[in-house]
Amino acid sequence: MELTTEERYARFADLRIEALKRFGGYGKIGQIVLFYYHDSFAVPLIGRIIDRIDEIVETKPVDQIPTRLKWIQPYIPGDPRMVEIDARYAEPQSKWNVLAEWDKLYQPIFLNEHPDCPWNGKRLFPNEEQGS
């Protein structure tokens, strides 16, 4: 049985709040977001994070919502292995050009620190072929 929108918000209220807290409630345009989409490791935030979190709660398969809300998170600069690339990403004109290189450097660091993350290098849900 499919849940109504109200039932979805009630069922996932705590996870939704935790996800919003990781972004300070709003997020910052241009900041790197991990797992914004299930088939992208990192993307720059281009809108309000609450809109994406609400879209997940309202439209994604119920069995995927906890995983999506657990792993969507802001990248917090500060890792000494990322200093140079973080500086290049911070230059407004180079965000999109640097992102692929940034992604290659940070993915192994993140996955080493989060061995329970289901990311397989291409998808957060390895058995699913489509959807975002």
Instruction: Provide the residue-wise pLDDT of the chain in tens; the chain has 132 residues.
Output: 689 999 999 999 999 999 999 999 788 888 999 999 999 999 999 999 999 999 999 999 999 999 999 999 999 998 999 999 999 888 877 777 888 889 999 999 999 999 999 999 999 998 876 555
Question: In the block, which residue shows the tokens 């996800």?
Answer: 19
Rounded Cα gap, residues 93 and 4, in angstroms: 43
3-state secondary structure of 32: strand
DSSP 2: P
Contact 125, 118 (CB under 8 A): yes
State the pTM of this model: 0.89
Sequence ranges of the domains in the chain? 5-113
Cα-only R_g, the chain? 15
Rounded Cα gap, residues 53 and 36, in angstroms: 9
